Amino acid sequence: MASAQPLLAEEKASGVANPPKKRVSKYLVEPTQCDLNGLTTAKAEELLKKHGYNELAEKERNKLWEFLKHFWGPMPIMIWLAVGVEAIQGDTADMLVLLTLQVINGTVGWYEESKAGDAIAALKNSLAPKCSVKRDGRWETMAARQLVPSDIVKLALGCNVPADCMVLDGKPISVDQSAMTGESLPVTMRKGDTAKMGSNVVAGEIEACVVATGSETFFGKTAAMINSVEEEGHFQKIIWSITLFLLGVSFLLVAFIMAVMLIDGSTFLETLSICVVLLVASIPIAMQVVCTSTMALGSHELAKKNAIVSRLAAIEEIAGMDMLCSDKTGTLTLNKMTLQERKPFSNSTEKSLLLYAMLGTQWTETAKDAIDTMLFAARQEVEEDLKKYVGVDYVPFDPSVKRTEGTVHPANAPSQKFKVTKGAPNVICDLAHNAAEIREKVEELVDSYASRGIRCLGIAYTDSSGQWSFAGMLTFVDPPRPDTKEVIHKAMELGVGVKMITGDHVAIAKETCRMLGLGTTVLSNKDIEAAGNRLGDLAEGCDGFAGVFPEHKFDIVNALRGNGWLCGMTGDGVNDAPALKRADIGIAVEGATDAARAAADIVLVSPGLSVIIDAIDLARQIFQRMKNYITYRIACTLQLLVFFFLTVLFVKPRDIMQDDAVPQYFALPVMAMVLITILNDGTIISIAYDHVVPGSTPEKWNLPLVIAVAICLGAVACASSILMLYLCLFSHEGDSIFNRWFGAHDLTYLEIRCIIYLKVSISDFLTVFSARTQGPFFERRPGKLLFGAAVFATAVSTLLAHYWPFEEMSGITWRWCGITWGYCVAWWLVQDLCKVLLVRALHTTKVTQDDKAKKQAVKKMRQSLKVELGKEGIGASDLRRGEGLTKAQVVARIETLESELKALKIAVAKLN
CB 587 within 8 A of CB 601: yes
Q: What Cα–Cα distance (Å) separates residue 205 from each residue in 153, 371, 399, 408?
A: 11, 18, 14, 16
Quick one: CA dihedral 64, 65, 70, 71, positive or negative? positive
Q: In what order do the strands lie in the sheet with 200-203?
A: 187-189, 173-176, 200-203
Pairing state between β 455-462 and 602-604? unpaired
Q: How far apart are CA 670 and CA 677, in angstroms?
A: 11
- The SS3 call for residue 85 is helix
- The SS3 call for residue 345 is coil
Nearest to 470 by CA among 456, 481, 484: 456
Q: How far apart are CA 372 and CA 356, in angstroms?
A: 13
- 408: which strand partners? 391, 418
Q: How far apart are CA 14 and CA 174, in angstroms?
A: 8
Q: What is the DSSP string of 763-829?
A: HHHHHHHHHT-SS-GGGSPPPHHHHHHHHHHHHHHHHHHHS--SSSS----HHHHHHHHHHHHHHHH
504 flagged as catalytic = no
Q: How far apart are CA 796 and CA 247, in angstroms?
A: 29
- 475: which strand partners? 456
CA angle 115, 117, 121 (to 5 degrees): 115
First to last CA, the chain: 34
CB 358 within 8 A of CB 475: no
CB 213 within 8 A of CB 51: yes
Residue 829 CB neighbours (<10 A): 13
The crossing angle, in degrees rounded to 10, of helices 92-126 and 287-304 is 30
Helices (H) and strands (E) in the chain, counts: 33, 23
- The SS3 call for residue 114 is helix
Catalytic residue selected from 91, 327, 681, 764: 327
Q: What Cα–Cα distance (Å) separates residue 327 from each residue in 125, 171, 485, 607?
A: 26, 30, 14, 12
Q: How far apart are CA 164 and CA 154, in angstroms?
A: 13
Residue 537 CB neighbours (<10 A): 18
The crossing angle, in degrees rounded to 10, of helices 268-282 and 74-89 is 150
Phi, psi (deg, nearest 5) at residue 547:
65, 30
CB 635 within 8 A of CB 517: no
CB 157 within 8 A of CB 398: yes
In 194-233, which ranges are continuous DSSP H helix? 218-222
Q: What Cα–Cα distance (Å) separates residue 382 from each residue in 354, 357, 379, 468?
A: 7, 10, 5, 22
Q: How far apart are CA 550 and CA 397, in angstroms?
A: 13
Q: Which residues are catalytic?
A: 327
